[in-house]
Structure 1
Amino acid sequence: MHIPDGYLSPITYIPSYAIQLPLFVYGIKKLKEVLDEKTVPLISSLTALSFIVMMINIPIPGGTSGHAIGAAAISILTNPWIGFVSLSLVLLIQAVVFGDGGITAWAVNSLSIGFGASFTGYYLYKALSKINKEFALFLSGWFSIVFSSFLVALFLGIQPLIAHSPDGKPLFFPFGLDITVPALVFSHMLYFGIVEGIFTLVVVKFVQKTAGLLTEGINET
């Protein structure tokens, strides 16, 4: 689901950096406020787990691939700003070291996968946890990655509309929303969303059971 270099036009990725960087700096500030000898191991472990699951890319119909991300789990256990920063750092390392995702596309990937998934997963869980916590955990994971896939599909699908030659030939990503939305969103609704929902449920319940005290006081936005 990472967008590589060459798929996005400058008119897309330059403004995305202007939006993402101030949010990222603010997220770093929020992260520093809670870092201590107790929270560092927890946040580091959750970020490392996200890194691992995001490296497991599974091909899906439509010429793309998908994977779990762990954004909802990190955000629920800490807060969405930490989730956003953690996922953004994972995406940056994967782009620079492993070529998984692009440098020019990092801000878009960060906003789509990091920011979008972290905040939707967190607030959906907050809204539903009073009804049923297990269901809220699963649905927050499911929806977070589906929403993230929609944002990625949106960024890719608008490229033929905003960056094309005078004769209408796309200059960057060639497929429109009629292809990107079904290829990405439907597959995440039917498969990766379920995986992410189960992942969120299992990870959050395990951490709350084994290290629940560490999460107290840091899951505030």
Structure 2
Amino acid sequence: MHIPENYLSPATCAVMGAAMVPVWVHAVKKVNHDLPKEKMPYLGVGAAFSFLGMMFNVPLPGGTTGHAVGGTLIAILFGPDAACIAVSIALLLQAVIFGDGGILSFGANCFNMAFVLPYAGYGIYKLILKAAGTRHKGAGYVSAAIASYIGINLAALCAAIEFGIQPLLFKDSAGNALYCPYGLSVSIPAMMIPHLLVAGVVEAIFTVAVFAFVKKTSPDLLFDSSNVQTENKRHLPVFALLAALIAATPLGLLAAGTAWGEWGADEIASIATNGKALGYVPAGLKNGWTLSALISDYAIDDMNEIAAYILSAIIGVALLIIIFKLLSLARKGKYAA
């Protein structure tokens, strides 16, 4: 679901980036006001769950791959505003350091995965939970599963629309698409069918599994228990879970193929859609701006693929935890004024 560089026009990227600015401003204000200072470092743990979830690629129908995002999960654990910030920073690290998702398309990726997914997922979670009431045991887990499934599919739909409008709006003199060459009739089913059938289920399983683990081992971290003190609690089981996920990330290498809409300029011309290859490279995709990532595609020269993947996971998780620890140190008092 990570939209790469140059699949969206600069104008589209600018609009999506501008749309995210008020969302980020709102999220920062709400987190400063609502999230206790001592919980701020653990938001880095939530961001790490998202980062790691996106490294576990799974095969999808059509020969592509997909992954969980964890947006609803973080929203349930820390609130939707905190989830917006956590997923945004995880996406930024992925784009800058690992070349996963574009810099220009960062706003669009955040709109889909850091805005639509966590806010919609959390809203649906609360609605289902309210309707179920406290009478039904396990209602929280069922609500989390349904909400995360719907949330990631809504995010996928947004990405599909962003892809699909490009050939309608941006063409060269010969009528060829300048950026993403697949219209809505292709992009929507290509994104939605795999997400409805597989990726949404993976997101639901990931969300419920981690949510259940955290609820059992560290219930004071949950958003709805923000009045519970967390000082002097090390939450070792949560960090042990992170370590286990890091060790298991090479499983993501088993899924062959590339996520739909994430092909490079060197391969898109030969990609067959509806039995027919595209046959050309869109000019904007071929000549567009790119950033040379530090650890492109989680691979390191002259290092074993599995070892490089694990090292990339360690680097990503460590940076996220450090970033949110520094943010917590920058805050004054239990809550910001």
Aligned counterparts, 1:24-63, within 5 A = 24-33=24-33, 34-37=35-38, 39-58=39-58, 60-61=60-61
CA shift for structure 1 position 134: 2.4
Contact 2:163/2:182 (<8 A) preserved = yes
- 4+ residue runs over 6 A deviation: none
Aligned to 2:315: none
Asked if 1 retains the 8 angstrom alpha-carbon contact of 2:58 and 2:66, the reply is yes
Distance 1:22 1:198, change over 3 A: same
SS in structure 1 opposite 2:56?
coil
- 1:141–1:199 contact (8 Å) kept in structure 2: no
- 1:141/1:198 contact within 8 Å kept: no
Amino acid at match of 1:179: V
Counterpart Cα distance in 2 of 1:171 and 1:62: 25
Residue 110 of structure 2 aligns with which residue? Answer: 110
- C-alpha separation in 1, matches of 2:67 and 2:47: 15
| Identity percentage of aligned residues | 38
Q: State the alpha-carbon separation in 1 of the partners of residues 221 and 59 from structure 2.
A: 37
Corresponding residue of 1:124: 124
- Say which structure is richer in helix: 1
Shift of residue 35, structure 1, vs aligned partner? 4.2
- 1:151 alignment partner, one of 148, 158, 172: 158
Higher mean alpha-carbon deviation, 164-173 vs 54-63, is at 54-63
Please list the CA deviations of residues 52-99 of structure 1 after superposition, one character each: whole Å capped at 9, or x if unmatched. 111233454557531100000100111111111111111110000000
Unaligned runs of 5+ in 1: none
Stretch moving more, 199-208 or 45-54: 199-208
131-140 vs 103-112, greater mean Cα deviation: 131-140
Which of 189, 199, 217 is equivalent to 2:226? 217
Unaligned runs of 5+ in 2: 133-138, 228-337
Look up the SS of the partner of 1:129 in the other structure: helix
Partner Cα distance (1:63, 1:135) in 2: 30
**3-state SS of the aligned residue for 2:218?**
helix
Structure 1 residue 168, shift from structure 2 partner = 2.1
Separation of aligned partners in 1, 2:58 and 2:205: 17
Contact residue 61 and residue 183 of structure 1 kept, 8 A: no
Q: Contact 2:157 / 2:192 at 8 angstroms: preserved in 1?
A: yes
Deviation at 1:203, TM superposition (A): 1.5
| Equivalent residue, structure 1, for 2:179 | 172
State the superposition RMSD in angstroms. 1.6
**Which structure has the bigger radius of gyration?**
2
C-alpha separation in 1, matches of 2:22 and 2:11? 18
2:209 paired residue number: 202
Secondary structure, aligned partner of 1:147: helix
Q: State whether structure 2 residue 196 is matched by structure 1 residue 189.
A: yes
Give the CA deviation at 1:166.
3.4
TM-score, normalised relative to structure 1 = 0.92
Q: Tell me which residue corresponds to 2:23.
A: 23
Question: What is the aligned residue count?
Answer: 217
Once the two structures are overlaid, the 10-residue window that deviates more, 63-72 or 147-156, is 63-72
**Measured at CA, do residues 95 and 64 of structure 1 come closer, stay the same or move farther in structure 2, by a change above 3 Å?**
farther
